[in-house]
Amino acid sequence: MLRILFKVSLGFIVVLLSSTSSLAGEKKLRGGWYLLEPFQYLDESKGNEFLTGLDVELQKAIASKAGYDIEIGKVEWKQHQIDIKQGTRDVAGIAFRNKEREAYAHFSIPYRDETDGYYTRPGNLKNVEADSVDGLVKKIDGQRLRLGAIHGYEYTDDAINAFIRDPKNSPKLVFVNNDYQNFHNLLNDEIDGFFADQIVASTLAWRMGIRDKVKQHPVKISKPLHLMFSKKTVSLDTVNEFNSAIEAVKESGEYSRINRNYIYPILLSQTLDANWFFIIDIIGTMAFILSGLILAYRHSYDIFGAFVLASLPAVGGGIIRDLITNRTPIGVLSSPVYILLVAGMVMAGFIGIKFYQRYGESLGFKKALKNVSTHLLGFQINTLDALGLSAFVVTGVVVALATKSEPLWLWGPILATITGAGGGILRDVVRSEPNIGALKGELYPEIAFIWGLFLSCFILWQTHQSVDLDNILWAVIFTMAGCFATRMVVISLKLSSPLYKAKESLPQSHK
């Protein structure tokens, strides 16, 4: 009897497990990805590569809300479409909706937009001047320009897709698997241009170091993207579950968070790598170094002491910031430029001082320097310092984004303040200076905080809108200009903290 009961129980358990396994299998969907940074790519920054990107994380978040798990395997886009049609894969992201695909696939509601642009070499832009996509395609066709295109890809405008599908245009088309290959073909003069998502193209050009070798046409085209499901394996009930999940992800703020974490660090980093930003950053860093050198000279520090006093305001704030956020590698370790700049200026400063002390009288330098206004010299140094502060504020906010420091409206301005003013404070602490200007009345860290808050709030607002590269650039420029102007007004009017003034005005007995 016990043996019979045991067998019945064992059979019941087996049936239950297999039923549970079957249910779990029903909750799994087979997806795919191809290289499209920053939307889907392998991250190798921490030693072991893992699949990530905006669309990868969005698809996972949406599927999780719907109660599903997506297994994402690598597949080229053309093959992915074949798999969806045949039912060997269940879902595809980053998909445009058209009548051809509707024959074999269900589509979700839009989950984000894509904006495409036409990319070519700078000298070729004059050949394709146009005010619309139709006009641009006509110019490409009329001049028999060679066009790069991704296998099986649907572009944002019907005129582009019609041109690519027209058999008579096949000699002018060069098909590839991703936009990396399009860029290589463009640089190797195998094509004259190609259409691509503007964020993808901007990111790839930045990664490849070719931003000055390619240009985007002014005409842009936007279109909503959907999740695409195989009609052979996915029911409309499942699609409706995903539609509800898409709305839930957007309403919960998770969409904005994912968008902010993956898109904006990359786009802002591209701005930081621009030549104009680098020049401003270097000029400001030199002003910070010079402030340390002046203190070293006034208080008779040796050359190592001068190096410490010069390097702390220049890179100290960034080091503190990176240690707080656990950023790896620490910024100053990723490039030798700043430490070499400190060492070079300290060496040049000491050589200049020795030369001045030995030959200054005979060559007339001392007499000439007496006629130089100390106030004017200080104003010039402060002007350069204000430029540096404006650059460091932007860098601090970018690091807050890159390290996913949340909430951004808090950590953005805090890290901007640490980056801009932390090094100078640290220098004065090392010197045992009792009157640290940044902490005793001088309006300096407050400026960094205010403009860091402005840029952080703009990014938070922008994540709820369609991504616009021009808006991001202008926000950075406006932040830097505002920070610089504010600092110059403070210097000119000799403004100090209102709280500090209030303390000075208190009766003697309250001090």
| Structural domains of the chain in order of their starting residue, each with its CATH number | 112-224 (3.40.190.10), 268-510 (no CATH)
Q: Which residue has the tokens 């402005």?
A: 454
CA nearest neighbour of 271 among 280, 262, 260: 280
User: ∠172-175-176 over CA atoms, to 5°?
Assistant: 145
Q: Is 294 helix (H, G, I), strand (E, B) or coil?
A: helix
Tens of each residue's pLDDT in the chain, 511 residues: 445 444 444 444 433 444 443 344 458 999 999 888 899 998 876 667 889 999 999 999 999 999 999 999 999 998 999 999 999 999 999 999 999 999 999 999 999 999 999 999 998 888 899 999 999 999 999 999 999 999 888 898 999 999 999 999 999 999 998 899 999 999 999 999 999 999 999 999 988 889 889 999 999 899 999 999 999 999 999 999 999 999 999 999 898 888 888 888 888 888 888 888 888 889 888 888 888 888 888 888 888 888 988 898 889 999 999 999 988 888 888 888 899 999 999 999 888 877 777 776 666 655 555 555 455 556 777 888 888 899 999 999 999 998 889 899 999 999 999 999 888 888 888 877 666 666 666 788 899 999 999 999 999 888 777 777 788 889 999 999 999 999 999 888 888 766 655 444 434 333 3
Residue 73 has a CB neighbour count (10 Å cut-off) of 12
* pLDDT value at residue 25: 45
| Helices 374-402/408-430 angle, 10° precision | 140
The encoded tokens of residue 178 equal: 């991703």
* pLDDT value at residue 108: 97
CA nearest neighbour of 296 among 392, 431, 178: 431
Residues 6+ away with beta carbon under 8 Å from 329: none
How far is the C-alpha of 393 from the C-alpha of 480, rounded, in Å? 8
Residue 176 has a CB neighbour count (10 Å cut-off) of 20
Q: Which residue has the tokens 């402060």?
A: 382
User: ∠500-503-504 over CA atoms, to 5°?
Assistant: 90
Task: For strands 215-230 and 112-120, give the pairing.
Answer: antiparallel
407 cis-preceded (ω within 30 degrees of 0): yes
Q: What is the DSSP letter of 241?
A: H
* pLDDT value at residue 266: 83
How far is the C-alpha of 317 from the C-alpha of 284, rounded, in Å? 13
| Cα dist from 186 to 61, 150, 175, 509, whole Å | 36, 14, 12, 76
How far is the C-alpha of 40 from the C-alpha of 75, rounded, in Å? 12
CA nearest neighbour of 145 among 181, 179, 174, 116: 174
Q: Any bridge partners for residue 150, and if so which?
A: 176
How far is the C-alpha of 413 from the C-alpha of 400, rounded, in Å? 9
Give me the DSSP letters along 300-358.
Answer: T--HHHHHHHHHIIIIIHHHHHHHHHT-SS-HHHH-SHHHHHHHHHHHHHHHHHHHHHH
| Cα dist from 278 to 269, 275, 313, whole Å | 11, 5, 17
| Cα dist from 115 to 124, 198, 257, whole Å | 22, 6, 20
Buried b (16+ CB within 10 A) or exposed e, 295-305: bbeeeebeeeb
